[in-house]
Structure 1
Amino acid sequence: MSTTTPLHVTGHLAPVPDEIDARELPVEGALPPELTGRYLRNGPNPLPGEPSPHWFAGHGMVHGIRLRAGRAEWYRNRWVRTAALEGGSMIRPDGTVDRSVGVANTHVIAHAGKIMALVESSFPHVLTPELATVGPCDFDGRLTTAMTAHPKCDPVTGELHFFGYGVMPPYLTYHRLSAKGELVTSAEIAVPGPTMMHDFAITDQHAVFLDLPITFSMDRLANGMPFGWDDAYGARLGVMPLDRPGEVRWFDVDPSYVFHVGNAHTDTQGRVVLDAARYAAADAVAMWDGLGHDPAGLAADAAATGAARLHRWVLDPATGAVTETPLHDRGVEFPTVDDARVGRPARYRYAVADSGGRAGVVKFDAEHGSVAEHDLGTATVAGEAVFVPSGVAGRAEDDGWLLTITTRRDGSASKLLVLDATDVAGPPVAAVALPRGVPAGFHGSWIDDIEVGRA
């Protein structure tokens, strides 16, 4: 029997053994007083001594930092107290799936006053602003599928668009929450089989689905991750008018995979423009094989096999034409955008990179095709960078800050880094020293006090 420790529980990925609280955290530089709220970040964190077969499988743990009046008032971390954390199973004795059971380890968002921890296999779990778990949420019994960890909030209507995928029919279902948090629309979408559809996109008029060749197989289940690359499945993108739920026009594209979308919009000709971090076929196979033993390579060197690169598809629902264009050869992952530009034209994308052992936060200018990077050196890695707007009336698109948790590669220490989004390559505006090394996780959100007040 092998006693080798998996890499996804070592170094900057190593889980922490307990929940702690710390107050009045040390701050280098000056926190902008406009940052009044909570930065929350989710990720997998197995219980102490618990076997961890795959990076994606650990129980959700949310790390939170409370900022107010230029101070970092507290840090705390809490496991999302799901039924799975208590040993429960998603599979009932009769073989059906219990969507109220799940690890809730991928994202944390707020909508209509609810803070929700998300994983794409289950219902969301509601948290309090202090990170206590309220419990699973099925929106008054109306949600009967899983909920993606990557819903999209329309910045104009306030509606939350999302989907659920499953390994049994229905394989894909679109959903929409009202701005008040009521589930008002659900529509099944026909696809050939069960794929790992991690993300999607919206425009002001469309939803865009990614039907790509990482598929479910019972044969793979014994290895801890039942999805894998499938050459025979094909690759296509689907465009659905938001006013006609369930009606999808599909576009065949070159074989590839996308974990994370940057943004999408409908252009003046009625075409859908989609930007994402795309793994070409060979890169997707190398990335997926590597995740089982070395997940640290998600934002790999652009010269190495296994990296995702920013890519653009232009899809024309009127003619069926599709064009595919690489935007930059920089290896990146976890692309983000100003939430006020979701589904609309946006000049900037933000992402993380780890090239040749040097990590950084990247700002991509879609207008000029240029990249600026905040270099973190070789000893530190960056998590997803979340954009927080300045709040100035008539602000420029990049007038605001980027918040990211950085962690030493050996896992020994972490900071909440605050960067000026107009000058990403410049020195940090502020850095909050956290009381422990925070394992590099998945996704997070800035939740301001106005949103918390809606709870």
Structure 2
Amino acid sequence: MTSTPPHLLGNYAPVTEELTAHELSVTGRIPAELSGWYLRNGPNPHAAASKHWFLGDGMVHGVRLENGRAVSYRNRWVRTSTFTDGARAFRDDGTRDLTAGVANTHVVRHAGRTLALVESSYPYELTAELETVGPYDFDGALQTAMTAHPKTCPTTGELHFFAYDVVTPPFLTYHRADAAGKLLLSRPIDVPAGTMHHDFALTGEHVVFLDLPVLFDLETAMAGGGMPFRWSDDYQARLGVLRRDDPHGEVRWFEIASCYVFHCLNAFDDAGRIVVDVMRYPEMWRTSADVAAEATLWRFTIDPASGTVREEQLDDRAAEFPRIDDRLAGLDSRFGHATVLEGDGGALLRYDLHTGERTAHEFGDGRVPGEAAFAPADETPGGAGYLMTYVYDAATDRSDLVILDAGDLAAEPVATVHLPQRVPFGFHGNWLADR
């Protein structure tokens, strides 16, 4: 008898219907300045089965806010070629099909396009109603996959991203598109093996790559065992630094202690040094592709003059899904946020990165938050704003969109939007304001 794996049970289990609901019930008051969509992507296998949580078909859940009202909720599968036609990453002749993927990890907006992302294939463009337009390859210029964690420079509007390959070199490629969506740069980065590059960091002057000891494992891949990566004690963890004003120049590598990082909180330049804040795991996937370890907030301070990196732990509470006010991406953002899952409930944390102070909003037993996106309340980067997250309520087996005052995180929610169904645990999303 085969038991159901944990990633298909409880609120990890997929929902089976695409719904559209209007005029949602609200407890509290939705701030009138919030007009737009809150979108979040995540795995929702259409066949109700997948070999790993990371591998389910992408589904985007969206709530429309306007004039103090929760106008609508809708959820839609991203109709990739894998979803519609069963396309696979490699065709029978061995060539790569970059339209094949699950587009289940993130949803971002750039140059007027809303893109659903996964790191193994092309992005998929969505309409405002979350219908799938099709794969997007930057008008034919993109010849690799695209990370699910691109960075938009708030100064130039450029989109910085990368792709990694685990089969043939180059194993890492850095890309840059302008604010209008034109791909300007694609250059290979020399790394010695096919490592899993999930995220990277961007500052005003630098790009920082994380080359860490989770490597493609052919034996696992051939066995069809889900995520084909395993921890290596022999691979040197390191950070690669590229100057933004010399994008074809040298990448300098700085060794660090073995660890793994799924997500960077932020990075910035500081008097000749480069500060990178991350959620750090001591190791990852040593014997299986289950996330058993816990991440905590750490800081890497790279000193190019001395060739060294200072590594320090900033907080001891286990958390993930770090976010900032994205208008400060690559700059010195005083505040950051992350999500805690503990026992049967969870919390959102607010880090004051200047003072070291930490504030929490505890949701209580049976109420579990996901990643929280920052929604600005005014035109001042780093100023007043709100945190938005889907919260699963085990007592009702439904989910809410909870809106919190980022500056008074411990207070009661500003508003709770009650959804017509549960939103399965997922990955990343954004507040996409109309303006």
Give 1:253's aligned residue: 256
Q: Secondary structure at the match of 2:7?
A: helix
Secondary structure of 2:73's partner? strand
2:82 alignment partner AA:
A
Indicate the SS of the match to 1:329. Answer: coil
Q: Which moved more, 1:10-19 or 1:424-433?
A: 10-19
2:309 aligned with 1:322: yes
Structure 1 segment 16-165 matched on structure 2, within 5 A: 16-49=15-48, 51-86=49-84, 87-165=86-164
Task: State which of 392, 396, 403 in structure 2 corresponds to 1:418.
Answer: 403
Corresponding position of 1:372: 359
> Would the alpha carbon gap of residues 24 and 378 (structure 1) be closer, same or farther in structure 2, given more than 3 Å must change?
same
Indicate the residue corresponding to 1:311 in structure 2.
Answer: 298
Off by >2 Å, runs of 4+ in structure 1? 355-358, 408-411
Residue 358 of structure 1 deviates from its aligned partner by 3.6
Q: Does the 8 Å contact 2:325/2:375 carry over to 1?
A: yes
Deviations 1:76-116 (A, max 9, x none): 00000000002111111211211111100000000000000
Structural RMSD (CA)? 1.4
Please list, as runs of the form range in 1=range in 2, the aligned pairs for 1:159-198 lying within 5 A after superposition.
159-167=158-166, 168-198=168-198
Q: Does 1:439 align with 2:424?
A: yes
Measured in 2, the distance between the counterparts of 1:88 and 1:179 equals 32
Whether the 8 Å CA contact 2:229–2:285 is kept in 1: the answer is no
Per the TM alignment, residue 408 of structure 1 is displaced from its structure 2 partner at its CA by: 2.3
CA contact (8 A) 1:202 1:208 kept: yes
CA contact (8 A) 2:335 2:353 kept: yes
Deviations 1:181-232 (A, max 9, x none): 1001111000011111100010000001000011101101121210111111
Query: Is residue 41–residue 107 contact of structure 1 (8 Å, CA) maintained in 2?
Result: yes
Aligned residues of 1:398 and 1:421 also touching (Cα < 8 A): no
TM-score by length of 1: 0.92
Residues of 2 paired with 1:157 and 1:233: CA distance?
A: 36
Percent sequence identity over aligned pairs: 51
Corresponding residue of 2:329: 342
TM-score by length of 2: 0.96
2:338 to 328, 345, 351: 351
SS across alignment from 1:12: helix
Deviation at 1:318, TM superposition (A): 2.3
Match of 1:236 among 226, 230, 238: 238
CA contact (8 A) 1:39 1:64 kept: yes
Stretches of structure 1 lacking an aligned partner (at least 5 in a row):
298-305, 451-455
Pick one of 227, 230, 233 that aligns with 2:229: 227
Per-residue deviation, 1:411: 7.8
- Secondary structure of the residue that 1:377 maps to in structure 2? coil
| 1:319 Cα deviation after fit | 2.1
What number of residue pairs does the alignment pair up?
430
SS of structure 2 residue aligned to 1:219:
helix
Q: 2:282 aligns with which of 280, 284, 291?
A: 280
Question: Is the 8 Å Cα contact of residues 376 and 386 (structure 2) preserved in structure 1?
Answer: yes
Asked whether the 8 Å contact 1:109–1:115 carries over to 2, the reply is yes
Bigger mean CA offset, 407-416 vs 253-262: 407-416
1:351 Cα deviation from its structure 2 partner: 0.4
Specify the alignment match of 1:301 in structure 2: none
Question: d(CA) in 1 for partners of 2:267 and 2:100?
Answer: 32
Q: Any idea what SS the aligned residue of 2:81 has?
A: coil
Q: Is the 8 A contact 1:12 1:410 kept in 2?
A: no
The structure, 1 or 2, with the larger RCO (C-alpha pairs under 8 Å, 6+ apart) is: 1
